[in-house]
Structure 1
């Protein structure tokens, strides 16, 4: 169990580093969006993960075949980098964009194992994602992630102000918050959970068997059900059992 947790944490940390590096990879010239908004399909190598490093919204769907469609101005679409590295697409521009109409990216993939978000864009799942193993989510900006998923292992790392909203279920999850963003997972059932908070963000989750909490910041953990609990607190955050009955 410990080795599995360490491996998961390392994967999330690597994903977050990729997000930060992608944002720093900029050059001096800039472009502006020109013309009306259009839709275009992108021809890309297969990928099972992505990092959103531009100001755009992403709608992610699980389907039988990969498809990527972008709604934006044509010169902005042409400026997108389409490189897939180690199975992940880092969504960034070849040349920085100064001003453009809103950009929306529609992604359909058979499977998904990594989501990264840097900046103010939002990522929304349009249908439940079922994976046989693990899903890593890393947020370093102010954008939000909203996803329904069923998997074996879930890792979430927040270092910014964006929220992660989860529905579905998993067997084992690791949740890390070093920023002010929240993890809203009352509708995401997990058997085992480990929560580490060094920032001000809060975690809301549903755990059935075992919950381990490490708090060195001001964020709190709110949980439902009656799991065995192991708690270590050196900050001002608290661990609070939630007795609210959901009516939805």
Structure 2
């Protein structure tokens, strides 16, 4: 009896595991892994009327300022699994839910838009500005090893980085506002601002440029460096944080 009972338990456990493995998804069944076929093609996506771009999942996105255009370069059998849609005024780029994609060639999404107000990158996505942008206010948001590289000139940039994210921004603005935590980095020393604010914690690092005023707070091993010889510096440090001038 014991061997029979043990066999029944094994079969029941295997059945439950299989259900968890394959019915764990949105809409029910988990799709099998899809491997790229090596045939790289470009596909146009007809979407417009957005001012923000957000990406995830190790995707590469190239940004340009101009008339609306969205193109996805990927292996032909993977195109259907790459999701590009507009939510509100933000273009969101990622994969269809419950897909397991294995690429043999990198995926690149080319996005052109007339006005840029928001850029977001998470889960190792990389957003790269291939032209200089001009506008009013811009919000940058990275997390989970996402990265943003951009040149922007306007009134204000609000940059927020967490969980190993990275932002590198150049250009010129009136006000640069930075928040960084959990080992993330914001390199804004090449973005010439009149005023800059930085709040840094948990081993994160921020570099800013300010010609008039800096307001900096650093805690828990975070560091702020400022350039530009500002006339007024207001700094607050605690728990191993540091604020200093430097090039």
**What's the TM-score bracket when you normalise by the shorter of the two chains?**
0.7 to 0.9
Q: Distance in 1 between matches of 2:237 and 2:214?
A: 14
The within-5 A match list for 1:5-154 is: 27=26, 28-35=30-37, 36-63=39-66, 65-95=67-97, 96-101=99-104, 102-131=106-135, 133-154=136-157
Contact 1:82 1:89 in 2 (8 A): yes
Unaligned runs of 5+ in 2: 1-24
The within-5 A match list for 1:162-181 is: 162-181=165-184
Q: Work out which of the two has the higher radius of gyration on C-alpha atoms and give 1 or 2.
A: 2
**1:8: which partner in 2?**
none
Deviations 1:125-182 (A, max 9, x none): 1111001x21101111213211111011100111121221111011112100112121
1:77 alignment partner, SS class = helix
The root-mean-square deviation of aligned C-alpha atoms, in Å, is 1.5
Unaligned runs of 5+ in 1: 1-25
**2:241: which partner in 1?**
237
Contact 2:217 2:243 in 1 (8 A): no
Q: Distance in 2 between matches of 1:34 and 1:223?
A: 46
Match of 1:187 among 185, 190, 198: 190
Shift of 1:187: 1.0
Match of 1:206 among 205, 209, 216: 209
Shift of 1:225: 2.0
Q: Which has the higher contact order (CA 8 A, sep 6+)?
A: 1
Contact 2:48 2:69 in 1 (8 A): no
Shift of 1:31: 4.1
Q: Distance in 2 between matches of 1:168 and 1:82?
A: 29
Higher strand share: 2
Task: Provide the TM-score with structure 1 as the length reference.
Answer: 0.82
